[in-house]
Amino acid sequence: MTYTSDDKLQWEVQKLQAEAQNLKRPFVRQPAFWIGLGTLTLSLGTNVVQLSNAERNRQLAEIKTEKLQLDTRKLEDQKKELENTLQEQRSQLASIRDELSQQQDFLASLRKEIATAGATRESMLRGVTELEQRAANLDRIAENTARSLASSSAPTKQSTSRNTELATQLELQGFQALVAGNFAEAQRLFQASETAANGFRYSYEWARLLRTRQAELATPDGRKAVLQFALSKGYASYAPDELRTKLRQQAQ
């Protein structure tokens, strides 16, 4: 089919008429308006969401930063407090060691004087026993301070588990061995009780007393002196009433 120039002209006129008719309609009824409006709305919504996420992330970052700063200040304060405690304990330990050294020197001097003067056995035993007690007490204080110093210098180290039930059983067996006069076994049992639960009651004090004054336990008077000292310090406070009564009788 052949189209003439009149046909083309007619089509152009119809096209112009359609465009003119479209321009006469309100812009809200034009498809192009709604397409553009939808695109603009979508773009604005996307920008609002992005801005909201950015603001939230900024606030979260500020909160985390403030928390880290607070934690840092707390750690610095704890560090200063720990350093002060360590310094005090070191000073205390040095002082105790100096006093212990003086007591040991005095003990050695007293032994020489006793040997030279030919003092009686009883007076020698009393003097030496008293000084040995003082030296043992100072040694115990120094050891406890050193133990505390070691634990303070390593705050992140996990503490060992404490089996108080086993420690109680071993403590009871230790008192039974004391009453039976088996001091070596009692010393072993009290030490085992201390090992099962570090710092449990008076297990450490009993074990150390029986170890440091082992020589006195070989004589009746020495055993009485050791038991009297332990009872005066309250070391038998956790013993059953029956066993504590027997210990008091043996100390008389």
Residue 11: predicted pLDDT? 80
CB 207 within 8 A of CB 235: no
Write out the DSSP string of 6-51: HHHHHHHHHHHHHHHHHHHS-GGGSHHHHHHHHHHHHHHHHHHHHH
Q: What confidence tier does 25 reach under pLDDT thresholds 50, 70, 90?
A: low
Residue 17: predicted pLDDT? 77
Q: What is the pLDDT of residues 98-124, one digit of tens each?
A: 777 677 667 767 767 666 665 565 565
Residue 46: predicted pLDDT? 82
Q: What is the pLDDT of residues 154-179, one digit of tens each?
A: 444 444 568 889 999 999 999 999 99
Q: What's the mean per-residue pLDDT of the chain? A: 77
Residue 20: predicted pLDDT? 73
What are the extents of the domains in the chain? 69-151, 162-252
Question: Does residue 88 surpass a pLDDT of 80?
Answer: no
- Better-scored residue on pLDDT, 96 or 123: 96
- CA 145, CA 99: separation in Å to the nearest integer? 14
Indicate the pTM of the whole model. 0.40
CB 224 within 8 A of CB 252: yes
